[in-house]
Amino acid sequence: MRESGLERGLGRPFGGEARSWPPVPRLWPGETICIIASGPSACRDDAEFVRGKCRVIVVNTSYRLAPWADLLYACDAKWWWAYEPQFQGLTVSQDARAPESVLRVPSINEPGLSLDPMVIHQGGNSGYQALNLAVLLGVRRILLLGYDMQGGDHWHGAHPPGLVSLTDKATARWRENFGTTLPDLERANVEVVNCSRQTALTCFPRMSFEDALA
């Protein structure tokens, strides 16, 4: 049975239709959401600050910073099998090899964002796919935390053997990919604000998360 109240995100219960994707349902029309990725600047204190103030999606191992979040997204089935996260919110992946309990959303390797609820665009990383997913969920405003996009490693250190860690070459490509999302965000009337404490991702306006949620 799913938790309610402010233990998870804003804590509204999900309807039964949420268990049968695709299509991705517009669960959160007009709402603000914070996506917490795994860059080195992500931390538990920042996650706790946004708790109860908006919807929250956690990306990959950042579920450990916010186990109460509304949704956990990870693109790679290997990650799901390596970590076996105990998470009470929605769990979503684009990888059909993920555990059966995880919702699947098909993905394609195209620039920009998909506005079709049957599919998301890949962008080369889970943070990009989580952004596309949030748009399809109907949100109006997206705040980014832990989107450092400048090499190094994750806030939690390296993944176990067999999983991909960050490289400068990969993050440079990801930054270019995010730049292609701007026309589709405008079409969808969705605002994205990069609230990451440290970031090389410059295509979105910057703001502290304290000011963004004031």
Output the pLDDT for position 104.
94
Q: Is pLDDT of 11 > 60?
A: no
Q: For residues 158 and 189, which has the higher predicted lDDT (pLDDT)?
A: 189
Residue 22, preceding peptide bond in cis (omega within 30° of 0): yes
Structure tokens belonging to residue 77: 């089935």
Query: How is 100-146 classified by DSSP, letter by letter?
Result: TTSEE--EE--SS---STT-EE-TTSHHHHHHHHHHHTT-SEEEEES
For 63-116, write each residue's pLDDT tens digit: 999 999 999 999 999 999 999 999 999 999 999 999 999 999 999 999 999 999
Percent of the chain predicted with pLDDT > 90: 76
Are 138 and 26 in contact, with CB atoms under 8 Å apart?
A: yes
Whether 13 has a pLDDT exceeding 50, the answer reads no
- Listed in order, strand segments (DSSP E) in the chain are 32-36, 55-59, 71-73, 90-93, 103-104, 107-108, 120-121, 141-145, 191-194
Residue 201: pLDDT above 50? yes
Q: Is the peptide bond before 106 cis (omega within 30 degrees of 0)?
A: no
The rounded mean pLDDT for the chain is: 88
Tell me the pTM.
0.88
Q: How far apart are CA 53 and CA 109, in angstroms?
A: 33
pLDDT digits (tens, 9 = 90+) for 108-157: 999 999 999 999 999 999 999 999 999 999 999 999 999 998 866 775 66
Strand, helix or coil for residue 6: helix
